[in-house]
Amino acid sequence: MKPPFVTVIIPVYNDVRALEQAIPCSIRELGMITDQFELIIAEDASVDGSTGLVMEWAEKDPRVILIHREERLGRGSALTSVIRQARGEIICYYDVDLATDMSHLKELIAAIQNGCDIATGSRLLPESSITRSGNREIKSRGYNFFVRLLLKSRIKDHQCGFKAFNKDKISLILDTIQDRYWFWDTEVLVRGQKAGYRICELPVTWREGPGTTVRTGDIWKMGRAIISLWWNLHVS
C-alpha span between 73 and 80 (Å, rounded):
11
Q: How many CB atoms lie within 10 A of CB 34?
A: 16
> Identity (one letter) of the amino acid at 91?
I
How much is the pLDDT for 1? 56
Structural contact between residues 137 and 206, judged by C-beta atoms closer than 8 angstroms: no
pTM assigned to the model: 0.92
Catalytic residue of the set 15, 95, 117, 185:
185
| SS3 at position 143 | helix
Q: What is the pLDDT of residue 215?
A: 47
pLDDT (tens place) for every residue of the chain, 236 residues total: 566 799 999 999 999 999 999 999 999 999 999 999 999 999 999 999 999 999 999 999 999 999 999 999 899 999 999 999 999 999 999 999 999 999 999 999 999 999 999 999 999 999 999 998 768 888 889 999 999 999 999 999 999 999 999 999 999 999 999 999 999 999 999 999 999 999 999 999 999 876 544 444 566 788 899 999 999 998 86
CATH topology assigned to domain 1-98: Spore Coat Polysaccharide Biosynthesis Protein SpsA; Chain A (3.90.550)
How many angstroms separate the CA atoms of 33 and 54, rounded?
A: 22
d(CA 150, CA 227): 8
Please report the pLDDT score of residue 218 as a whole number. 64
Q: Is 185 a catalytic residue?
A: yes
What pLDDT, on a 0 to 100 scale, did the predictor assign at position 210? Answer: 64
Residue 173 is given by DSSP the state: H
Q: Could you give the angle at the alpha carbon of 8 between the alpha carbons of 4 and 9, nearest 5°? A: 155
Location of each CATH 3.90.550.10 domain in the chain: 1-98
Tens-digit pLDDT profile for residues 106-147: 999 999 999 999 999 999 999 999 998 768 888 889 999 999
> Could you tell me where the DSSP H helices lie in 32-122?
50-60, 75-85, 105-113
Q: What is the pLDDT of residue 190?
A: 98
